[in-house]
Chains A and B, each alone.
Chain A
Amino acid sequence: AQTVTQSQPEMSVQEAETVTLSCTYDTSESDYYLFWYKQPPSRQMILVIRQEAYKQQNATENRFSVNFQKAAKSFSLKISDSQLGDAAMYFCAYRSARGFGNEKLTFGTGTRLTIIP
């Protein structure tokens, strides 16, 4: 079974600075997808970014980018120019690419990010 580990329960960063959230995962599969979700105080889960394992290029979405190291099974999220609205719980998630019947998302335990004004 796949597992996802987020070893930083809490992180803080000064507004406008850069912060990196860590995620590692364990899988025997070679093809899969990785995601970062954000959960603000409203508790709505919002997709931040996704990465396909077969792609070597790291995904980027505006101020959010990932560092995907497939061999190391590492998938960190970098937030540049941090804003107050980035304060939230961030969850790393894994999904198999094996297709029908294997769409379950496996989540890490989350990292609470605080933005310091």
Chain B
Amino acid sequence: DGGITQSPKYLFRKEGQNVTLSCEQNLNHDAMYWYRQDPGQGLRLIYYSQIVNDFQKGDIAEGYSVSREKKESFPLTVTSAQKNPTAFYLCAVGSGTIYEQYFGPGTRLTVT
């Protein structure tokens, strides 16, 4: 079974706790991305990584952190510094040789 997996589908956390969202791909794409989706808004880029051990901030990186130790994996940590963490988070993959990005199924994070 191939593609992009994100786990879990739904995640609940208490305010003040860090939480890590998983994104795994077996499509052998170099680039991976994290987007956030809020109601009434389009997707906004949090972080992206074009190669292993390298990543760049997107438009709304504050309160988030990432790592890219393996090509297949790009986990996102939502820290307690993120003021409004409740949102739908989407992971995507791409490469320099294709123009579009392909998305995982997403994780709905609720922080109370």
| Interchain CB contact under 8 A, A109 and B40 | yes
| Interchain CB contact under 8 A, B102 and A52 | no
Q: Is A45 an interface residue (CB 8 A)?
A: yes
| Interchain CB contact under 8 A, B40 and A105 | no
| Interchain CB contact under 8 A, B99 and A95 | yes
Q: Is A42 an interface residue (CB 8 A)?
A: yes
Query: Within A41-56, which residues are at the interface with B (CB < 8 Å)?
Result: 42-47, 50, 52
Q: Is B64 an interface residue (CB 8 A)?
A: no
Q: Is B85 an interface residue (CB 8 A)?
A: no
How many B residues are at the interface, by size bracket? 20 to 34
| Interchain CB contact under 8 A, B43 and A91 | yes
Q: What 0/1 readout, one digit per residue, does chain A (56-93) give for beta carbons within 8 Å of chain B?
A: 00000000000000000000000000000000000101
Query: Within B41-59, which residues are at the interface with A (CB < 8 Å)?
Result: 41-45, 48, 50, 56, 58-59
> Closest CB of chain A to B45's CB: distance in Å?
5
Minimal Cβ-Cβ distance residue in B for A34: B99
Minimal Cβ-Cβ distance residue in A for B106: A43
| Interchain CB contact under 8 A, B42 and A50 | no
Q: What 0/1 readout, one digit per residue, does chain B (81-101) give for beta carbons within 8 Å of chain A?
A: 000000010101010100111
Partner of B48, one of A44, A91, A103, A106: A103
| Interchain CB contact under 8 A, B96 and A99 | yes
In the bound assembly, the distance between CA atoms of A110 and B35 in angstroms comes to: 15
Residue of B33, B41, B96, B103 with most partner-chain A CB within 10 A: B103
- Chain A residues, CB < 8 A from B58: 104
Q: What 0/1 readout, one digit per residue, does chain B (26-47) give for beta carbons within 8 Å of chain A?
A: 0000010101000011111100
Query: Within A18-57, which residues are at the interface with B (CB < 8 Å)?
Result: 33, 35, 37, 42-47, 50, 52
Minimal Cβ-Cβ distance residue in A for B42: A107
Partner of B42, one of A4, A33, A46: A4
Partner of A109, one of B42, B90, B106: B42
